[in-house]
Amino acid sequence: MSAPIHVLAFSGSLRKNSYNTALLHLARELKPDDLEIEIFDLASIPLYNGDLEAEGVPQPVTEFKERIRIADALLIATPEYNYSVSGVLKNALDWASRPYNDTTLSDKPVGIIGAGGMKGTVRAQAHLRYICLELGLHPMGKPEIMIERPWEKFDATGKLLDESIADQFRAFLVEFSRWSLRFK
């Protein structure tokens, strides 16, 4: 048996009881055996600033980029803020894409998931796909995980209440494993 696919997972939400972060924990629970999922918290990454970069890349950014570098694939959980991705998520991707000749993102397969609002992050996921293409990432097309009205699907501790979503997520993770193998 070959080594498992190492997935770096991160959420574009910093909220303590984030549904998107809960999705990452659910992914670890439901994953097939050939996936290994590491969750990275974006909270310590500062706002991108070229002057700050010129002084020396901050340690949390260096750590994030190194975690991306050794990962076989990325799993991104995106909330939807004002019809797009969160500033937190865009900022982290901006840092990871810098400097241009030292990006850690090129040619990584990406799974995109999201929970939020009445539309289930559909617009944020579409915008994230555009961003991924510009960064040389390979977002998986189908199946999709877009959980609308998550306050009805998760309890206060982040536990999923809807088993049909768990079944959809298992299928997503199996396909994500297949997608990731294409690039390994």
Question: What's residue 119's pLDDT?
Answer: 86
CATH code where residue 36 lies: 3.40.50.360
Q: For residue 115, give every residue at least 6 positions away whose Cβ sits within 8 Å of its Cβ, in sequence order, or none.
A: 19, 20, 22, 23, 77, 79, 121, 146, 147, 150, 153, 154
Question: What's residue 1's pLDDT?
Answer: 56
Whole-structure pTM value: 0.95
Among the listed residues 132, 136, 135, the one whose alpha carbon sits nearest the alpha carbon of residue 111: 132
The structural domain count of the chain equals 1
Please give the mean pLDDT across all residues of the chain: 94
User: Length of the chain in residues, anyone?
Assistant: 184
Percent of the chain clearing pLDDT 90 (strictly above): 88
Tens-digit pLDDT profile for residues 93-115: 999 999 877 788 889 999 999 99
Tens-digit pLDDT profile for residues 149-169: 999 999 988 899 999 999 999
Q: Could you list the residue range(s) of the whole structural domain that residue 50 is in?
A: 5-181
Among the listed residues 176, 121, 120, 116, the one whose alpha carbon sits nearest the alpha carbon of residue 143: 176
Tens-digit pLDDT profile for residues 32-75: 999 999 999 999 999 999 999 999 999 999 999 999 999 999 99
Question: What's residue 15's pLDDT?
Answer: 92
Please state, in angstroms and rounded to a whole number, the distance separating the CA atoms of residues 163 and 5.
26
- Judged against a pLDDT cut of 90, whether residue 4 lies above it is answered with yes
Q: What secondary structure, in 3-state letters, does 87-99 show?
A: HHHHHHHHHHCCC
